[in-house]
């Protein structure tokens, strides 16, 4: 019996340090690893933000193994979905001819949130909730097409 390939998703933001890693971790978790998920940045920072790791751990999702990487790592790779999370990434992201669907989910960067450490954590938690809702809708769409 031949196994159907997993839907292939790329999530892009500018720095690839928090939003895209949060979305990558949520997609893997909420799909029970039924998706092939990657994230990248148009100008990667080279690290995953510690508050992204900490607040995702509060949700029971470990993203410590994820790494900040450049969009160029995925040149020529076909994706079923490409999701941009910031307007800068949308403008810089080359439209891949092999991409079946491109989505844009403009999402504030919680790493720029002002205030105390607790204020900043609240911004990360807000980002997680927002992306979780969008991802649940996407999973319904993908599930309807692919029966996850």
Nearest to 37 by CA among 61, 2, 1: 61
Catalytic residue (choose from 17, 18, 32, 86): 86
For residue 93, indicate whether it is catalytic.
yes
Catalytic residue (choose from 17, 18, 32, 93): 93
Catalytic residue (choose from 13, 17, 18, 32): 13
- Residue 144: other Cβ atoms inside 10 A: 9
- Residue 141: other Cβ atoms inside 10 A: 12
Dist CA 78 CA 99 (whole Å): 6
Helices in the chain by DSSP H: which ranges?
19-30, 50-58, 87-92, 117-146
Dist CA 64 CA 117 (whole Å): 20
Dist CA 135 CA 28 (whole Å): 10
Q: Which residue numbers are catalytic? A: 13, 86, 93
């Amino acid at each position: 019996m031949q196994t159907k390939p997993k839907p292939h998703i790329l999530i892009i933001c500018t720095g690839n340090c928090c939003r895209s890693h949060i979305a990558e971790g949520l997609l893997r978790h909420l799909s029970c690893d039924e998706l092939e998920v990657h994230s990248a940045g148009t100008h990667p920072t080279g690290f995953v933000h510690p508050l992204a790791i900490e607040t995702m751990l509060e949700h029971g999702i470990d993203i410590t193994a994820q790494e900040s990487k450049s969009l160029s790592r995925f040149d020529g790779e076909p994706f079923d979905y490409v999701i941009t999370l910031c307007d800068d990434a949308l403008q810089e992201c080359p439209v891949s001819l092999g991409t079946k669907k491109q989505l844009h989910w403009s999402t504030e960067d919680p790493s720029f949130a002002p205030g105390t450490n607790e204020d900043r954590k609240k911004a990360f938690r807000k980002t997680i909730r927002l992306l979780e809702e969008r991802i649940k809708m996407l999973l319904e769409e993908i599930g309807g097409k692919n029966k996850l």
